[in-house]
A and B are shown apart, each in its own frame.
Chain A
Amino acid sequence: MKEFYGSRLQSQMMLGTAQYPSPAILVSCFEKSKASVATVSLRRESGNLESGNSFWSIIKNLDVKILPNTAGCYTVKEAVTTAHMARDIFDTKWIKLEVIGEEDTLQPDVFGLVEAAKILSEEGFEVFPYTTEDLVVADKLLNSGCKVLMPWGSPIGSGQGLNNIFGLKALRSHFPDIPMIIDAGIGLPSHATKAMELGFDAVLLNTAIAKAGDPVIMAEAFSHAIISGALGRTADPMEPRDMANPSTPIFGKAFL
């Protein structure tokens, strides 16, 4: 398994912490999914509710690495300032960098993303950029100091799976040594399996588990799905054929 900024993870599953029916179900989903990384955010604190302290007391006991995000940021300044605040509060150099460009699809503003990634990388952050499958953008992100890429499968929360298999294959082939995580759009365990079969190094998801009818069973399903896809890739699958080829030997067949 590839390392992410020098960290070797216990699993190839990264899991978001939003939208669960209850804190107890969130904890159970992390246990069943065997996720090695939890994504978190920063939001306004009212003080009297101490919601941040309550949430943090749950997360810090999960025994996972913390990946703060800049979700909801539409400008470079917002994203960079949020990253600074995240480093201050979570005491980590890791940042899942989101610079959103369009609110219907939540697709990244790749121009702002590259600019913010450069600023943060130069400041010592270890940037996980939420990007598209675009090769040129990927190249610019790597030149900006990113050592990990996080291409989307499809729009955040859409559950559409991998919308551009050709583009993702091309990205994987073009940068074979770069750790890559499929982030966003995963809806089914089979989507995660496909991502791993394509050679990606991890999958990050949230809504597919949190909004499932039974999130805990779905968490376990995703755990198996990711392991299956990774093992399938490692096992060097056969090439598809256009025509049938008998699996039972012809030699020795009776003449009847």
Chain B
Amino acid sequence: MNIIVNGENRNIINVNLTFALDELGYKKMKLATALNGEFVSVQARDNINLKEGDKLEVLSPQQGG
């Protein structure tokens, strides 16, 4: 299945968001997520199934002023 992760096309096998994040290389990382512009909490990820063409934003703590 193809989805867009942080603006880039990615092909994934896992449909479930938690497993998809592991597959995408984000395992055990401190992350915040949004799917198609809507915030998805850590707790909600287990119940989210991705669809073809979904836009996933994966953010992490970074420098800020």
Contact = CB atoms under 8 A, between A and B. Distances in A.
Interface residues of A, number: 37
Size class of the B contact interface (CB-based, 8 Å): 20 to 34
Contacts of A12: none
A31 B29 CA distance: 27
A114 interface: no
A89 interface: yes
A142 B20 CA distance: 42
Q: Which of B24, B26, B62, B64 has the most CB of A within 10 A?
A: B64
A42 interface: yes
A89 B32 contact: yes
B1 interface: no
Contacts of A52: 29-31, 59-62
Q: Which of B24, B34, B61 has the most CB of A within 10 A?
A: B61
A16 B65 contact: yes
Contact of B63 (A41, A44, A157): A41
A56 interface: yes
Contacts of B26: 45, 47
Contacts of A4: none
Contacts, number: 105
Binding site secondary structure of chain A: mixed
B60 A43 contact: yes
A206 to B, nearest CB: 4
A46 B6 contact: yes
A89 B63 contact: no
A88 B30 CA distance: 10
Contacts of A45: 6, 26, 29, 31, 58-60
Contact of A55 (B39, B42, B63): B63
A33 interface: no
A50 interface: yes
Contacts of A77: 37
Interface string A70-93: 010000010001001110111000
A207 interface: yes
Interface string A1-36: 000000000000000111110000000000000000
B39 A39 contact: no
A55 to B, nearest CB: 5
Given A81-B39, A85-B32, A47 B62 contact: no
Contacts of A43: 59-60, 62
8 contacts: A44-B59, A45-B26, A52-B61, A55-B63, A59-B61, A77-B37, A84-B39, A85-B33
Given A40-B64, A45-B31, A88-B32, 17 more contacts: A16-B64, A39-B64, A39-B65, A41-B64, A42-B61, A42-B62, A45-B60, A47-B29, A52-B30, A55-B60, A56-B30, A81-B34, A85-B33, A88-B39, A89-B59, A89-B61, A207-B65
6 tightest A-B contacts by CB? Answer: A52-B60, A41-B64, A16-B65, A85-B32, A47-B25, A206-B65
